[in-house]
């Protein structure tokens, strides 16, 4: 489906709106309605994993209205916004072409506005925009996440994947513990000839519904704690064996260690911890 559904989105895009055209269009007009419908279809179908250009990197970049974007070779857009779409103050929708020269890099959380032409061989920093070209510097290029060295695939296969599976299992232990009562408790006797009806009646008995809610509560409260404790244990063990990581560490093992912690506890799962205790 990861290959078929994006093709369906592409077909719908060409049937509904065709090629995007530059200009100002009234908000909630016919063209805006077609544009909105295409956005929703693409969001459902996904953008796929198709290759774009020559040595072009688009890691986490928010890109839309693809007919109005021209990317040169060796471009690097990482977790930025590059959209030819904008909303004007007079309740109009603006579509403007964006042209990015070759070997151009855009930092994390930066914005490229519609109607912009970016010169080649330039690196825009983090949390910036095309209006701040005076601050562009080559020193930002090596700081892009996509330029960081990758951990060795052998280490990922032998250590990262097993540890990740262990972490997922431990984070699910509180939820599974809450389900024990659902299985062991005695409910009303279910005796139906239809297997589906028997299964539905078994799960919908009041005492089992209560245990289901208990399992969800335990998973929300203690699942992140179990995973966080496991990551702390792994990090402490690696620090005892190899020593603490330093800013200038570039060895294969050090690169793998940094990647391991981020894999075991990505930002989304870390936010589940901060939602319980705050960000302080």
What's this model's pTM, rounded to 2 decimal places?
A: 0.65
pLDDT of residue 201: 78
Last residue of a domain, one of 129, 147, 165: 147
pLDDT of residue 252: 85
Do 94 and 129 share a domain, yes or no?
yes
Give the number of domains in the chain. Answer: 2
Question: In which domain, by residue range, is 138 found?
Answer: 4-147
Last residue of a domain, one of 90, 118, 147: 147
For residue range 51-87, list pLDDT tens digits in order: 677 788 888 888 889 899 998 888 888 888 999 998 8
| Residue 125, C-beta contacts closer than 8 angstroms, at least 6 positions apart | 107, 110, 135, 136, 137, 140
pLDDT of residue 150: 80
| Residue 189, C-beta contacts closer than 8 angstroms, at least 6 positions apart | none
pLDDT of residue 166: 96
Do 130 and 158 share a domain, yes or no?
no
* Comparison of pLDDT for 274 and 119, the residue scoring more: 119
Do 88 and 170 share a domain, yes or no?
no
* Cβ pair 260, 160 in contact under 8 A: yes
Is residue 280's pLDDT more than 70?
no
Last residue of a domain, one of 86, 116, 147: 147
A 10 A CB-CB count for 163 gives 16
Is residue 230's pLDDT more than 80?
yes
Containing 96, the helix (H) or strand (E) segment is none
Cβ burial, residue 94 (10 Å; 0-12/13-18/19+): middle
For residue range 170-193, list pLDDT tens digits in order: 999 999 998 888 888 776 666 667
Do 112 and 198 share a domain, yes or no?
no
Do 128 and 20 share a domain, yes or no?
yes
pLDDT of residue 267: 80
The length of the chain is 280
pLDDT of residue 2: 64
Do 77 and 208 share a domain, yes or no?
no
Do 121 and 167 share a domain, yes or no?
no
Do 267 and 246 share a domain, yes or no?
yes
Rounded Cα gap, residues 41 and 9, in angstroms: 6
């Amino acid at each position: 489906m990861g290959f078929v559904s994006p093709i369906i989105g592409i077909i719908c895009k060409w049937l509904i709106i065709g090629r995007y055209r530059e200009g100002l269009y009234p908000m909630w007009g016919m063209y805006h309605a077609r544009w909105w419908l295409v956005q929703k279809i693409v969001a459902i179908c996904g953008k796929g994993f198709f290759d774009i250009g020559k040595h072009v990197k688009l890691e986490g970049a928010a890109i839309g209205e693809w007919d109005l974007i021209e990317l040169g070779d060796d471009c690097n857009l990482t977790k930025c916004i590059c959209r030819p779409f904008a909303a004007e103050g007079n309740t109009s929708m603006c579509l403007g072409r964006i042209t990015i020269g070759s070997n151009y890099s855009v930092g994390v959380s930066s914005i490229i506005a519609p109607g912009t032409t970016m010169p080649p061989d330039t690196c825009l920093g983090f949390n910036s925009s095309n209006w701040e070209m005076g601050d562009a510097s080559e020193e930002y290029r090596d700081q892009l996440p996509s330029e960081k060295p990758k951990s060795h695939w052998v280490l990922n296969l032998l250590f990262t994947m097993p540890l990740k599976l262990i972490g997922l299992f431990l984070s699910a232990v509180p939820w599974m513990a809450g389900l024990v009562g659902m299985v062991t408790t005695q409910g009303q006797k279910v005796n139906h000839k239809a297997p589906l009806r028997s299964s539905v009646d078994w799960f919908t008995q009041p005492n089992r519904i209560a245990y289901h809610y208990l399992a969800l509560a335990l998973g929300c409260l203690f699942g992140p704690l179990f995973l966080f404790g496991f990551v702390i244990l792994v990090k402490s063990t690696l620090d005892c064996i190899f020593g603490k990581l330093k800013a200038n560490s570039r060895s294969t093992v050090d690169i793998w260690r940094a990647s391991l912690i981020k894999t075991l506890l990505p930002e989304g799962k870390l936010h589940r911890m901060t939602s319980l205790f705050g960000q302080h």
